[in-house]
Amino acid sequence: MRLISFRHAGAAKIGAVVEGGIVDLSARTSARWPSLRMAIAGKALGELAAALKGASADLSFDDVELQPVIPDPDKILCVGLNYASHVGEVGRQLPTVPSVFSRLHNTLVAHGGDIVRPRASIDFDFEGELAVIIGERCRHVSRASALSVIAGYTCFLDGSVRDFQKHSVTAGKNFPATGPLGPWLVTSDVVSDPQRLELTTRLNGTVVQHDTTDHMIFDVATIIEYLSTVTWLEPGDVIATGTPDGVGLGRKPPLWMKAGDKVEVEISGIGKLNVNVVDE
């Protein structure tokens, strides 16, 4: 399934993407789950799949306001420096354990929305990433069983304010509306192996990043094992798994995003996340 969060006629809804548009799963399940996060927590993905079976589109994309796939996660956890090629281009040493930082909810942006370059800086960089959505409350998950706690996968754009990041990763990664998440959640039964995906980032139609997820230093299962050692993972938690080389910081001269730019993050088997860059 390809699941989305959206608003229609003032109400928050859960939907599924099918040929021709969107199936309103909230309407077909008596709106029992106020959000996709709540549906995941309620172990309702099977019921959503049953409601989707044989259904045709109820709405077009023009009828709705898309939301970030999980608009209200308990946590957004991000792994930095997770591709050796990226570590090299920014002049850092290879990590021996995952390098983790967190993002705030107000950094999230929907597919088709606006990513905001802050007035405080022009050093606004792109990082296309695979994002994992956790499917159940869990702690101390072994690497061997880690993929079983995943609800699905989506695309993420980690918009980074590089000059602020130099003195504080938390500051550089948490300006409002700098973290697009979408376009939809592809359930884990569709993606058999998250380490066999192709990731491409485009800036104004030009490929700026291209790699495969098998080049991660720490694979998805290892990341989940590590993070679940540190804290409880909750249904709907978002884990961004790192970016490959090609970022603006690593270029000479640097290539920064600016107002009017169009950015795409495409991951094979998942979809394409599109956003527009605007100035604050």
pLDDT digits (tens, 9 = 90+) for 176-203: 999 999 999 999 999 989 999 999 999 9
Report the distance separating Cα 125 and Cα 255, nearest Å. Answer: 7
Confidence of residue 77 (pLDDT cuts 50, 70, 90): very high
Residue 89 has pLDDT above 90, yes or no: no
57-66, 79-88, 210-219, 263-272: least confident range: 79-88
> CB of 117 within 8 A of CB of 258?
yes
Query: Angle at the Cα of 73 (from 138 to 135), degrees rounded to 5?
Result: 35
Query: Angle at the Cα of 231 (from 228 to 233), degrees rounded to 5?
Result: 60
